[in-house]
A and B are shown apart, each in its own frame.
Chain A
Amino acid sequence: MSLLNFFQNDKEINDPFGAPGTGNSAFISSVTIIVILFSWWLATELELVRPLFLPSPGMVFAKFIKVSCFNHYWETLLLMIGSASEVASECEGFSENPLHQHILWSLYRVFTSFFLAVVTAIPIGIAMGMSRYARGVFDPPLEFYRPIPPLAYLPLTIIWFGIGDSGKIFLIFLACFAPMAISARAGVRSCSIEQIHAAYSMGASRAQVIWHVVLKAAMPEILTGIRIAIAFGWTTLVAAEMVAAKAGIGVMVLNAARFLATDIVFLGIIVIGLIALFFDALMRWAERILVPWKGYV
Chain B
Amino acid sequence: MDSALKLKDICMVFSSSGGGPGTSVTALENVNLDFQPEEFIVALGASGCGKTTLLNLLAGFLQPTSGSITLHDNPVIGPGMDRGVVFQKHALFPWLNVIENIAFGLKLQGIDEKKRYAVAEANLNLVGLADFRTHPIYQLSGGMQQRVGLARALTCDPEILLMDEPLGALDAFTRETMQELILKVWKETRKIVFFITHSVEEALFMATKLIVMSPRPGRITHEYDLQFGERFLEDGNARQIKSDPDFIKVREEILSIIHGEEVDELEVQIR
Contact = CB atoms under 8 A, between A and B. Distances in A.
Contacts of B93: 195, 212-213, 216-217
Query: Which has the most chain B C-beta neighbours within 10 Å: A212, A219, A291?
Result: A212
Interface residues of A, number: 23
A200 interface: yes
Interface in B57-110: 59-61, 78-81, 83-85, 87-89, 91-95, 104-105, 108-109
A217 B109 CA distance: 21
Interface residues of B, number: 29
A201 B138 contact: no
Interface in A204-234: 204-205, 208, 212-213, 216-217, 219
B156 interface: yes
Interface of A: 192, 194-195, 197-205, 208, 212-213, 216-217, 219, 291-293, 296-297
B136 interface: yes
Nearest 4 interchain pairs by C-beta? A202-B105, A296-B138, A194-B91, A293-B94
A133 to B, nearest CB: 20
B89 A194 contact: yes
Nearest to B95: A216
19 contacts: A194-B91, A200-B60, A200-B79, A201-B80, A201-B85, A201-B156, A201-B158, A202-B104, A202-B105, A202-B156, A204-B105, A204-B108, A205-B108, A213-B93, A216-B95, A293-B94, A293-B136, A296-B94, A297-B94
Query: Which has the most chain B C-beta neighbours within 10 Å: A194, A201, A203?
Result: A201
B108 A195 contact: no
Interface in B115-153: 136, 138, 152-153
A223 to B, nearest CB: 12
A212 B92 CA distance: 12
Nearest to A292: B136
A195 B88 CA distance: 11
A286 B158 CA distance: 39
Interface string B235-267: 000000000000000000000000000000000
Given A203-B80, A203-B81, A197 B91 contact: yes
A144 B105 CA distance: 43
Contacts of B155: 202
A194 B195 CA distance: 16
A203 B153 CA distance: 11
